[in-house]
């Protein structure tokens, strides 16, 4: 899908089209997703810099805008990142707020199912604006290259949101190694994950643990450590 940023002569109408697509999608979803998309819509309308493709808003300001606490802000932004709708453009450090970019390609791909609810004219216009190829294309996808099914983010717990982030970063590693892990226990600042076998646990420990730990910390900074277990090693 080819998506250009909404700049130039028709920028204003394109912005409204994106917001309309988000609103129509939200109205077709269950209550939890409706609330999440409404929060994103409000954030985009109030603070998104379309020209710079940048959203720079502090966690405290987001909490005030959304009428929630900062812990909820962390969870909701992690969920939006896991969905692939937001991505970190510039990480926050001491004295500098995290900068996010809106992934228009992913937003439009995910909201496509609701375009027809707005009207045939809107659906046709959105299809043209994204450079959509005809449905009768001759390209046949190679079965082995198919992406695994993304994780369920509706639970909103730390591990499911961390899995969403890991999926958005590397779907193949997620499918081969990470989706088979489950939460065994959370103790203090440590998240203990259960792997299906000793070999599986060793591979993740050796090759993917740093990535997993970063994803978990991104969702819940208080969890600073991640460890692996396998059946028979619970003691």
Dump pLDDT digits (tens) for 120-130.
888 888 876 65
213 and 173, same structural domain? Answer: yes
Judge contact between 35 and 42, C-beta under 8 A.
no
Judge contact between 80 and 37, C-beta under 8 A.
no
24 and 110, same structural domain? Answer: yes
> Domain containing 72: what range?
11-129
Residue 12's pLDDT is: 63
Residue 79's pLDDT is: 87
207 and 104, same structural domain? Answer: no
Residue 141 lies in a domain: no
Residue 45's pLDDT is: 93
Query: CA–CA separation, 83 vs 85, rounded Å?
Result: 6
Q: Taking CA 194 as the corner, what is the angle to CA 191 and CA 199, rounded to the nearest 5 degrees?
A: 125
Backbone dihedral region for residue 34 (phi beyond 0: left; psi -120 to 50: alpha; all else: beta): alpha
pLDDT tens by residue, 9-60: 445 668 889 999 999 999 999 998 999 999 999 999 999 998 888 999 988 9
Residue 151 lies in a domain: no
86 and 24, same structural domain? Answer: yes
Instruction: Give the contacts of 64 (CB within 8 A, at least 6 positions apart).
Output: none
Residue 58 lies in a domain: yes
Q: What is the CATH number of the domain that holds 106?
A: 1.10.10.10
Q: Map residue 162 onto helix, strand or coil.
A: helix
Residue ending a domain, choose from 114, 129, 144: 129
Residue 151's pLDDT is: 85
Residue 1 lies in a domain: no
103 and 15, same structural domain? Answer: yes
125 and 191, same structural domain? Answer: no
Backbone dihedral region for residue 193 (phi beyond 0: left; psi -120 to 50: alpha; all else: beta): beta
- Calculate the CA 100 to chain-centre distance: 12
Residues of the chain with pLDDT under 70: 1-13, 128-146, 234-235
Q: What is the number of domains present in the chain?
A: 2
H-helix segments, the chain: 11-27, 31-47, 59-66, 70-82, 104-111, 115-118, 120-129, 158-169, 171-173, 198-203, 209-219
Residue 67 lies in a domain: yes
Query: CA–CA separation, 113 vs 110, rounded Å?
Result: 7
104 and 56, same structural domain? Answer: yes
200 and 104, same structural domain? Answer: no
98 and 166, same structural domain? Answer: no
Instruction: With 0.85 as the threshold, say if the pTM is over it.
Output: no
170 and 84, same structural domain? Answer: no
Residue 132's pLDDT is: 52
Residue 210 lies in a domain: yes
20 and 109, same structural domain? Answer: yes
Query: CA–CA separation, 30 vs 13, rounded Å?
Result: 28
Residue 142 lies in a domain: no
Residue 136 lies in a domain: no
């Amino acid at each position: 899908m080819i998506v250009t940023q909404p700049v130039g002569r028709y920028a204003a109408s394109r912005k409204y089209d994106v917001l309309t697509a988000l609103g129509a999608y939200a109205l077709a979803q269950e209550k939890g997703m409706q609330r999440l998309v409404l929060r994103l819509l409000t954030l985009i309308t109030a603070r998104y810099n379309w020209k710079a493709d940048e959203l720079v808003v502090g966690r405290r300001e987001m909490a005030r805008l959304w009428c929630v606490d900062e812990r909820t802000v962390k969870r909701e932004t992690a969920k939006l990142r896991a969905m692939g709708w937001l991505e970190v453009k510039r990480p926050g450090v001491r004295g500098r707020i995290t900068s996010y970019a809106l992934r228009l390609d992913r937003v439009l791909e995910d909201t496509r199912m609701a375009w027809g609810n707005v009207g045939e004219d809107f659906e046709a216009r959105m299809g043209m604006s994204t450079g959509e190829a005809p449905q009768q294309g001759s390209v046949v996808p190679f079965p082995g290259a198919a992406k695994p099914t993304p994780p369920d983010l509706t639970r909103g717990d730390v591990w499911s949101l961390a899995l969403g982030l890991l999926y958005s970063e590397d779907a193949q590693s997620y499918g081969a190694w990470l989706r088979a892990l489950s939460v065994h226990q959370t103790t203090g600042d440590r998240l203990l994950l259960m792997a299906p076998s000793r070999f599986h646990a060793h591979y993740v420990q050796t090759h993917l643990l740093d990535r997993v730990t970063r994803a978990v910390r991104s969702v819940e900074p208080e969890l600073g450590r991640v460890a692996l277990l396998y059946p028979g090693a619970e003691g």
